[in-house]
Amino acid sequence: MASTLMPFVMFLFLFGLILLNIPVAFALFFTSIVFGLIFWGWNGLYVTFQGIWSLMNNWALVALPLFVFMSAVLEKSGIADELFTTFYKLLGRIRGSLAVIAIILGYTIGAMSGVIAAAIASLALIIYPLMVRHGYDKKLAIGSILAAGTLPQVVPPSFNMIVYGSVAGVSVGKLFAGGLGVGTVMAIIFSIYVLVWSHLNKDKVPVFEAGEITLKEKIASLKYLIGPLAIIFGVLGSIFTGIATPTEASGVGAFLSLVYVFLRGQVNQEGHRRSLDCHFKSHLNGMLDNGRWFGI
């Protein structure tokens, strides 16, 4: 078989396995093993395990499963609902406020966990039905949620930055420092665009009636920001002050998330089981390992 056809055939084989409902991690594994044996014989296995060994010695990637666990714990704690309640009390009467809240939530959730799926899932389940029910244009509703879902890619602790830094040999801490500014600017630009578009298309974006909310209630709602801000500053602050490396900061974040749910009285066997179940179902380690095999 010509070497130029090899990548094409490999990807066809890979997508065929995925279409057969085989998990991506195992599909990558079988593809790499089969084609490694076909083209390189037993030497292919030697190169494969050599690559796995070098991957497992990459300490930067240790942060990924810890951030996944952190995200799972926070997701099960209902923190997204409380953040939404706080932001809608503060911004409820502004035209386009629900779309802006979606962007702020995407930024906040990304800064707490770096998990894109967690941000989009939370926004889709909480805000999208509310936006549609209050007469928001569906294009604006979906667009704002998807735009907010991109923020965890650049806001530290971003998974993409950790993987890129480990592969390219770039300092993950410096990537985080650069991504924080970029992500903040993106969130501000997204919010300004939504507000301007909402003002120009008032018929498609009605004012969200949050009810009569007193100043006292608005101030009281700020208490729900204490936990998330503590986690964000704990993770990012430990990195930027030099107290911890990005890998060590993932442990700080996982610990703070457990402390957060403990102080809220949400520590129970069922909640812990669901968090671990969500963590292991991600197949993160398997996808990374077998993806490395596939790339050899």
Please tell me whether residues 23 and 94 are part of one structural domain: no
Residues 80-89: tens digit of each pLDDT? 677 777 777 7
Q: Which residues contact 64 (CB under 8 A, 6 or more apart)?
A: 159, 162, 163, 250, 284, 285, 288
The answer to whether 91 touches 222, Cβ cutoff 8 Å, is no
76: in domain: yes
Ramachandran class of 267: left when φ > 0, alpha when ψ lies in -120 to 50, beta otherwise: beta
CB neighbourhood size of 192 (10 A): 11
User: Is 12 in the same domain as 92?
Assistant: no
- Residue at 296 is within a domain: no
Please tell me whether residues 22 and 152 are part of one structural domain.
Answer: no
Residue type present at position 64? L
Q: Are residues 48 and 67 in the same domain?
A: no
53 and 120 in a single domain? The answer is no
Given pLDDT bands bounded at 50, 70 and 90, which one contains residue 189? very high
Same domain, residue pair 31 and 76: no
Q: Does 65 lie in the same domain as 38?
A: no
pLDDT at residue 273 is higher than 60: no
Residue with tokens 């805000």: 127
* Rounded distance between C-alpha atoms, residue 220 and residue 99, angstroms: 23
Q: Is the pLDDT of residue 14 over 80?
A: yes
Domain count for the chain: 2
Residue 282 domain-assigned?
A: no
Q: Are residues 19 and 64 in the same domain?
A: no
Mean pLDDT of 188-200: 89
Which residues form the domain of 188? 60-265
Residue 274 lies in a domain: no
* Cβ neighbours of residue 181 closer than 8 Å, sequence gap 6 or more: none
Asked whether residue 130 is assigned to any structural domain, the reply reads: yes
Tell me what pLDDT residue 110 has: 77
Residue 52 sits in the same domain as residue 112:
no
In a domain, 161, yes or no: yes
- List, for residues 16-63, the tens digit of each pLDDT value: 888 888 877 778 778 877 887 777 777 767 776 776 676 666 666 677
Q: Same structural domain for residues 214 and 243? A: yes
Q: Above 60 in pLDDT, residue 183?
A: yes
Q: How much is the pLDDT for 296? A: 47
Helix 159-168 / helix 63-76 crossing angle, nearest 10 deg: 180
Kindly state the helix (H) or strand (E) to which residue 14 belongs, with its residue range.
helix 6-19
Domain assignment present for 197: yes
The pTM of the full predicted model, rounded to 2 decimals, is 0.69
Task: Please write the tens of the pLDDT for every residue from 112-168.
Answer: 766 555 556 666 777 777 778 777 888 888 888 888 888 888 888 777 787 777 777
- What average pLDDT does this structure show over 242-248? 79
163 and 229 in a single domain? The answer is: yes
Domain identity same for 200 and 53: no
